[in-house]
Homo-oligomer: A and B are copies of this chain.
């Protein structure tokens, strides 16, 4: 779908993270956790920046027909977006991509979020909770003032453990240091087998992948890549994957992903 959506609400969550809520029933209706929208950032009449920016769907409300994006300012595209105001319209394509597969019956989702990577996982958790599945979330941030979306997850009923690198809130350290402990806790309490869901910086994804491969836990990670088309046409956003038959090839993060089974990732 390609449309102009009206911005209903726009506010800063932290210093550099913004929440933008859009009126777009079509997207809200069909959005799946892990999918994203591809957003035009240039001013009308300007061809710079030329390309759209992919942003995960952080929340979708079918009854209201709204979609929420939560994004961090890292460059000029996100800075331009942060300058947009409620009642303005924004050009977007979506929902795009292959999202998260729901856990198999009886499995317990362990959700590992790093920084702004919590955005798509927020939508995933809401969707899981709405069908009675209770995720266990470990969410890492650099410091307490970077913490986002945790309060909302807790409110919906998710169990959330916050980890900050500087120990200013919750446990101290890196989120990946706590995966094993979280998995054991899940096992001891619920006796359910764990399935892992993750999104965050590359270093975190790599640790998550290794842990999954070592423990045999089924893991899905949402990955990023620089994108042009967002439709699968340009082959620009590819990731090296290993197929079931053991052969390596490039797959498109935009439509074959952005969510990948960790076992298929070669390098990222």
Binding site for B on A (CB under 8 A): 42-49, 76, 79-80, 83
Contact = CB atoms under 8 A, between A and B. Distances in A.
A83 B85 CA distance: 12
A46 B45 contact: no
A76 B45 contact: yes
A185 to B, nearest CB: 45
A43 B45 contact: no
Contacts of A80: 43, 45-46
Contacts of A83: 43
A47 B48 contact: yes
Contact of A79 (B45, B47, B48, B79): B45
Contacts of A48: 42, 46-48
Number of copies: 2
A168 B83 CA distance: 42
Contacts of A46: 42-43, 46, 48-49, 76, 80
Given A46-B49, A48-B48, 16 more contacts: A42-B46, A42-B48, A43-B43, A43-B46, A43-B80, A43-B83, A44-B79, A45-B49, A45-B76, A45-B79, A45-B80, A46-B46, A46-B48, A46-B76, A46-B80, A47-B48
Nearest to A45: B76
Nearest to A47: B48
A83 B44 CA distance: 11
A48 B48 CA distance: 5
A46 B50 CA distance: 10
A132 to B, nearest CB: 45
A84 to B, nearest CB: 11
A79 to B, nearest CB: 6
A83 to B, nearest CB: 8
A44 B42 CA distance: 11
A76 B48 CA distance: 13
Closest 6 CB pairs of A and B: A45-B76, A48-B48, A46-B48, A47-B48, A46-B46, A43-B43
Nearest to A85: B85
18 contacts: A42-B46, A42-B48, A43-B43, A43-B46, A43-B80, A43-B83, A44-B79, A45-B49, A45-B76, A45-B79, A45-B80, A46-B46, A46-B48, A46-B49, A46-B76, A46-B80, A47-B48, A48-B48
Indicate the member of A42, A46, A49, A76 with the most B CB atoms within 10 Å. Answer: A46
A44 B46 CA distance: 12
